[in-house]
Amino acid sequence: MFSLKSLSALFLVPVALLAAPINPGSCDTSKAVMDLPAGKTTLVSPAVPPTYVTLGVGVQNYTCSDTSTYTSVGAVASLFDITCLMNNFNFASIQTRAFAFWNESSQGYKTHRYQQHYFITNPSGAGLSPKWDFTSSTGDASAFVVAAKVGDVPAPSDSSTNVDWLSLNRVDGDLATQIFRVDTVGGQPPSSCVPGSGLISVKYISRYYLY
């Protein structure tokens, strides 16, 4: 299974470094600048450094609509703290190498029991909202954020394979005020489906920047 231990071995870093979120300020994140697509004003990098940079390893879930196309019904991912790896030579390609390892091994992933990304019922009561949850690893009941999408652009490369890059703003929780999903690998469903077919889960990896 793709687990915390396998990620640690792949990038030659201690398990403890990835297992739980760092204390804010433990690493110099001033150079953690996202490489956002040029000319895409829907995604604007904040003027302040991020609090956390995490690697999301999970699945995007889809159901087949009556129009024979897949519709997103959320995602589930484990979040590994890579904030302190920014000066590591593997950092630039961490998501690509991790995804290649995962696919080549034909393994699933083992849910990381500490930091999670998943979807909940929208606070308004209609639809779904994404949530990033650090409550188990921090012991802080407010260490989560539920967010709403405010920006969306196709992945700069292989957009038919890699899910969109997103910008989201907080609607609840104290973990962050802004979240970016960038450097995505995988996650897109097939272009068509047979109405009535079951839910599918598509592997993906991305970086999440939390501000």
Identify the DSSP state of 142.
T
pLDDT of residue 106: 60
What is the C-alpha to C-alpha distance for residues 101 and 44, in angstroms, rounded to an integer?
A: 31
CB 46 within 8 A of CB 169: no
Q: Is 5 helix (H, G, I), strand (E, B) or coil?
A: helix
Question: Given this model, what pLDDT does residue 51 score?
Answer: 94
How many whole angstroms separate alpha carbon 46 and alpha carbon 49? 7
Helical H segments across 71-134, by residue range: 94-104
pLDDT for 19: 58
Closest CA to 25 of 67, 70, 64, 83: 83
Q: Nearest-CA neighbor of 3 among 76, 57, 74, 72?
A: 57
Please give the Cα distance from 139 to 134 (Å, whole number). Answer: 8
pLDDT at 10: 63
In the prediction, which pLDDT does 81 show? 87
Contacts (Cβ under 8 Å, ≥6 apart) of 134:
21, 79, 114, 115, 140, 143, 144, 175
Segment 36-81, tens digit of pLDDT: 988 888 899 999 999 999 999 899 999 999 999 999 999 999 898 8
pLDDT tens digits for the chain (211 residues)?
Answer: 566 566 666 665 655 556 567 777 778 888 888 989 888 888 999 999 999 999 998 999 999 999 999 999 999 998 988 888 877 767 888 898 888 877 776 655 555 667 899 999 987 778 899 999 999 888 999 999 999 999 999 999 999 999 999 999 999 999 999 999 999 999 999 999 999 999 999 999 999 999 9
Distances (CA, A) of 139 to 16, 47, 55: 17, 29, 21
22 close to 52: Cβ distance less than 8 angstroms: yes
Tokens of 53: 């940079």
For the CA atoms of 82, 88, 91, 97, the dihedral, rounded to the nearest 10 degrees, stands at -100
